[in-house]
Amino acid sequence: MPAPLDGVTILDLTHVLAGPFCASTLADLGARVIKLERPGIGDDTRAFPPFLQGESGYFAALNAGKQSIALDLKSVPDRAIFDRLVGRADVVLENYRPGVMERLGYGWEALHARHPRLIYGAVSGFGHTGPEAGKPAYDMVVQARGGVMSITGEEGGPPVRVGASIGDIVAGMYLAQGVLAALYAREKTGLGAKIDIAMLDAQIAIQEHSLAITAATGHPPGPTGARHPTITPFSTYRAADGFFVIAAGNDALFAKLCSALALPLADDPRFATNAARCENVHLLKRLIEAVTLEHPAAHWIAVLEEAGVPTGRVQTMREAMADPQVLARNMVVPVAPAPGGAAFTAAGNPIKMSTLPDIHSRGPAPRLDGDRAAILHWLDAPDP
């Protein structure tokens, strides 16, 4: 059975994270991704640690299974190759600052006039409109500007960046959604579309509780550590040997938690409703931990799971990568080594579809310009 995006060709001019993450998602759905890189240098992440046999594991995790061709879009011969590639492509992805592609003669308006069916996906720090459209940005900048860092960390502590690069990754997710919507619309209209994703926009869009609290009360929330600001108990708790989490998201689950921990609190007016529990969150945590500190986390996880209360261990990435549930879902897969190259590990495809075979490994990460001959041969072949 063909994958959903079989036959879709994507020219990926992006580098580092947001754009490559989008392109990797689309590749998992069956698209062919041709990565265009700078001659002699390539994607910046080729120089990012960790390294195995001189190759970047970071680059491999994001670009496994893609093809690479090195092109200088200021060079006449390379521009000729790019023009031919655009003529065969369905989607062009770029993450330059707004205006760069226009100066090269490859902005949306120019490409759309020549190739009306082409889909143009752009991701940048602040988008292609607005007073700060031309400013550069990295993940940390948009986490800061978008308010995410103001709610991350411990109460009373300094602002903290989220450990995963959500400024880039979430923007890449939204770009992938936009591309899929544009491909669907093209089936009905015959026309491509421009998708303009701003990393800052994406940070605003994901803050469901922070935005709601601020809009309703006029007071922005601050950091609350691991706990949820509007649901209690919903946090980390100490056991005899470390931390685990409890997520009792409604009154029924709180009653089950109280029964499992032998705490007579379900009918206590201070804790009988979620609003009351939020008002008394610190007291409730002390009462819960007075019990949970008596035994290891594994004991309490078993007790709470038996009672039907959502819970889990706080795992390191090493532990998460060995988690039986993660492995059963093929979410940690090997990256096939290029000839003579290193073997890497990457995340699997989280999109599980009945019409899409799950991946058990990824193809090799491309060597810089390593697929030039194959790509040029494809260009010379007749259009099917």
List the catalytic residues.
Answer: 228
Please say whether the beta carbons of 270 and 333 come within 8 A: no
The encoded tokens of residue 379 equal 């260009």
The encoded tokens of residue 223 equal 């950091």
Closest CA to 119 of 66, 173, 196: 196
Report d(CA 77, CA 63) in Å as an integer: 26
Closest CA to 124 of 188, 202, 62: 202
Surface-to-core class of residue 381, CB atoms within 10 Å of its CB (0-12 exposed, 13-18 middle, 19+ buried): exposed
Beta bridge partners of 120: 92, 194
Report d(CA 323, CA 331) in Å as an integer: 10
Query: How many angstroms from the chain centroid is the CA of residue 139?
Result: 12
Taking residue 30's Cβ as centre, other Cβ atoms within 10 Å add up to 16
Taking residue 334's Cβ as centre, other Cβ atoms within 10 Å add up to 13
Report d(CA 171, CA 178) in Å as an integer: 10
The helix (run of H) or strand (run of E) holding residue 206 is none
